[in-house]
Each structure stands twice: as structure tokens, then as C-alpha cells.
Chain A
């Protein structure tokens, strides 16, 4: 197990009013993402619990690209990872943001 936390400042707040959303499942090669609108409009925090150690730099790159693309201002995102590949992580994060924009 490894715990990682990344904090980013965004250029804008994520649109929408939904307070909370959850997507995905904790399974081998998959992940669960919980999104909560609880932070300042220009702040985003992503906390990761992963079953696989040693991929900190990959997580950092995936999270940075996600934040730049989605501008998820105001969200605290908790990730429960079962060893998902980076592309699956990106996809789940984007799917979660779409739910919050509803």
C-alpha cells in the first residue's frame, strides 16, 4: 500500500452544483473515485490509496494532466486504486468530473 496526496491550484471552479459523486469499483486493474465539492473554488486535492508501490511519478504526471485538462476547482478527490493502468485512472477521473458537472 502507498498513500499519495497532490494539491493543485486551478484557473477556475468546476461548473455544476452536485456535492458528491462516486464512480468505479475497487477491483484488480480498476479503481474507485470519490469526488466531493468541499474546497475553495480554485483548489483541488487528490488523495490516492494504491495497492501498488513505486509509481509515484506516474501518478504525479497523470494527476497534473488531468487537472490541466478538467480544471476541477473546488474538488477533493479520493482514489482507491486496485492497480489500474494510467489510462484507466485518467478515464475514471474524467468520468467522475462529468458526473459532478451535471
Chain B
């Protein structure tokens, strides 16, 4: 007799063991470690919900406190490595293998632990890719998730930061896995049901509200003239040029500057309604002036942002909101939207090489990718045209039947030639390759491959890589906008001028922009306080951004 229900039987045994620490589905915060030691088995695949923003921190502390003699060699499959506890489990031996996407705040420590061999790394994924693997070969045995509130039956309200939760629960619960949720409070009736209770096995009332990382707030007070100049060039040379209406922005200061220039510089250029109307984007506070000025038709969000909840509630024509009025975000759907329904991705990076490969990995920091490799890629499965997409396609295609031409997604890197501490952005060789060699990774952690990048914008100009016809042209186009970095100073001046004559390189003056015009007075908001005013007092910035 073949047994077909082994996984179900194992799940029932785990549930039974866990019930000793629960009252119905409800578990006290002080019993988390006991619960986890009861339901986990060595070698389990575990998703400890660490999203871009929302963190299952109470469960993370409980897991880090597990006895490694009982619980060891776990395989962590989670999108974000954000809290210290996410790495503590690898120091104690509770966990051994890791597959993840993003590690911003822990980037330096994860690099040290990789070099030290404490973490056996599977791969650094893009979000959608990791989510996909949850359904194929990285299905969690146990998921530890976070929500705002739940009732005693486990019906879960995630709040505005729904993020990864539906995806994690879907993969775990429907494949014989166990789902444990931490919530800020247990209530009689949840404001809306984001996850039905029959998919939640245990609910922990956390000792304190879950931690949320304010990742998307850029203080306009810190924006420089160089960032404003780059933003002006991008608006005139790319947004207007290609008529980009559907887009995704990265989280850097450069794209935040663009958001703040739309109602001022963009308005002056007569671009309102012509560009930047439909977005896959977190609710960036710096988008408030553009929304209030009527630029933005709609925004779908990966997650929320600290302080934006009241504002979003009052703008349901723009944002996706639930029956309770609050934001409904969803990382998997928004990543899909960014991949297939947006005509442009524009964001920053830390290193770009001579062909245009880019990476955020440096020798001392492994920041991971998040969504950039996904949204910053040209989807070969796309089958709907748009003017933007077709124009880029025409620029790229020089051979073949025009009737069989397909479009191209615009993938734009927006960088200053030097980063913090005068570190050059342009390099001969990516640090990612050295990391791969030292840690034995088969695949170097490249964020965006050269063949997906269409434009690079720096303070020196725009390089249109779609128009480059061979590797030498590409190299000189990149050198030609690399400023005073070694790469930039190593340019062939004659070749660069020839590329400029063809419009492959465009300088600020070629676009009718004087660097002297790049002034902070162009910013629609020059401080966080200005953003609060724009929002009519609805935006409530977190304490660290309140300096008045």
C-alpha cells in the first residue's frame, strides 16, 4: 500500500504538539518558544515573515531563543533579512540554510557571515522569484507571519502592510504546512478579513506591536542640486521623450526628486496627464504633491509606508483600499504589475560596469535585490503594445521583419557618478563577482544585467544603450557619462563626441537644461513639513523625520 497522506499526518502531529501551549488557537507571547520547539522539526523549511516593511518580530525573538539541541539546521526561506534575530538563528545553529531577497539593514553582517561560512546560501532572489519557489521547491513547512489583529478563530487583519502575507499563507497552508500568526491584539471582530481563519493554526498576541521599517521616506531637505539636475534630465530626456505613463520608481533620492519636480518642472513643460499617471509604487510621501496636483490617476502598492495611513484613507480614488477604508497592498501582485503592466522601471544602484551590468553588492555589504531584478527586466512574455514600449522597441531593433518587432521595457539606472565617501559608481569589475568567487556562489549576484538596461542617467548626461550597436559603442557611451571617475576619464573623447552627435549620449545642454537651473526652489516640497502641509495634515511622519 502506498501512503498518500504522510505530510498531512505529520502536520496533524505538529498541531497536536502545539496545542499543549494554546487556548484554542490563541497562544500567549511568553509561550512562543515552547510552541515553536513543539511544532518545528530539524531541517524544516521555515518562512519567518520579514517583509520589506512589516516584521514578525515577536516570533523572530521566540525562534532565536529556541534550544539548538532540539531545533537546528532550519532552512530559512524569507524575503527580508531585516532584524538582528534573522541572523542570530544562524549564529546559534538553529538555522543553517538561507534563501532570501533583500537584506538592507543587515547587509554588512550578512556579508561577514557569508564569508565566515555560518550561512549556507542558496540564492539571492528577486521577490517574485522567491514567491514562485514557495510553490515549487521551497514550500515552507511552517510559516511565522504578522498581522495587526485577529479574532479567536484566526481571521486575520493584516492592516495596510499586507505585503507578502497572502502569498506565504497560500503556499504553506495548502501544502500541509503550519501557519502561526502574531498580532498586535486579539479582537471580537476584525476590521476586514485579509486571511480567512481556517488558514491560520495559531495566533500569538504579541508583547508589543510589530516593527515596521520606514523604508520609503526621503527627506526633501537632504536633496542636492546634482540630484535635481539628474531628475530634470530624466523628466525631459526620458519621461517626456517616450511618453511614459505607467511606471515604477526605486526608493532613492533621485527618483524622489523626480516625484517632487512633477508639479513644478513637469507642469512647466506641459507634461501633466502625459506622463507618470499610473504607478506600481509604495505610498511614497514625496508623491503627495504630485497626487494633490492631479498628476496621479492610480497607485497600486507592494506595502504601505509609516505615517501614510490617514492620507491613503482619504484618497481612495488613487489607492487600492478595503471595505474598512485602509490600504490593501500585496507584494506579489504589485511585483507582477511592475513586471507586465509598467513601461518603465527607474532606480538607482551602487555599481555599474563597462557593459552596464549593475549590482548593489559591495565587498562589505550584501544588500540583496528586493524587486529590482524583476521590475528592472524586459519581460519576454509581454503581449500588449503601448506607445512607450513600441518606441523603445524600434530603437533597439535594427534587423528583422518590422512586422514581427516587439517592444522593449525601459529600464533606467539613475546614478550619481560618485556615491557616498567619493566611492565611484562606475567600475571595471563588479564587487559581486568577487563575492561569488569567495563564497562559492555559482551565480554572481548581479541586480540588473546589461542586456536589460536601456538608459543610464548621471549628472553628466543620458546614455541611451538601445542605440548602441556594438560592445565598443556601449562602453564609450557609459564612459561618456561617467564623469570624473577613472572610467569616465578613460573615455575616447572622439568616440564620445561621435555618440553625442548621434544622440546616443545627451548632455544637459543638449536637452536645453543648464546645470545652473538645478535649484532647490524647483522642489514642490523642500522639507518633510512641506509634505505634511501638502497633505492637508493627513500625512503623519515618523518621529525621526520630525525636526521642527
Interfacial residues, chain A to chain B (CB-CB below 8 A): 52, 55, 57-58, 61-62, 83, 85-88, 90-91, 94-95, 98
Contact = CB atoms under 8 A, between A and B. Distances in A.
A16 to B, nearest CB: 15
Given A86-B484, A94-B515, 5 more contacts: A55-B422, A57-B489, A58-B489, A85-B226, A88-B226
B84 to A, nearest CB: 29
A83 B515 contact: no
28 contacts: A55-B422, A58-B484, A62-B484, A83-B422, A85-B226, A85-B416, A85-B417, A85-B418, A86-B417, A86-B418, A86-B483, A86-B484, A87-B226, A87-B417, A87-B418, A87-B459, A87-B460, A87-B483, A87-B484, A88-B225, A88-B226, A90-B515, A91-B226, A91-B229, A91-B515, A91-B518, A94-B515, A95-B516
B224 interface: yes
A84 B452 CA distance: 32
Contacts of A58: 484, 489
A61 B418 contact: no
Q: How large is the interface on B (under 10, 10 to 19, 20 to 34, 35 or more residues)?
A: 10 to 19
Contacts, number: 40
B418 A94 contact: no
Interface in B222-266: 224-226, 229
Decide if the interface of chain A is mainly helix, strand, loop or mixed: helix
Contacts of A57: 489
Nearest to B225: A91
Given A62-B484, A88-B226, A98 B516 contact: yes
Contacts of B483: 86-87
Nearest to B484: A86
A94 B516 contact: yes
Nearest to B458: A87
Contacts of A52: 422
A22 B418 CA distance: 25
A88 B483 CA distance: 12
A81 to B, nearest CB: 11
A85 B422 contact: yes
A94 B460 CA distance: 14
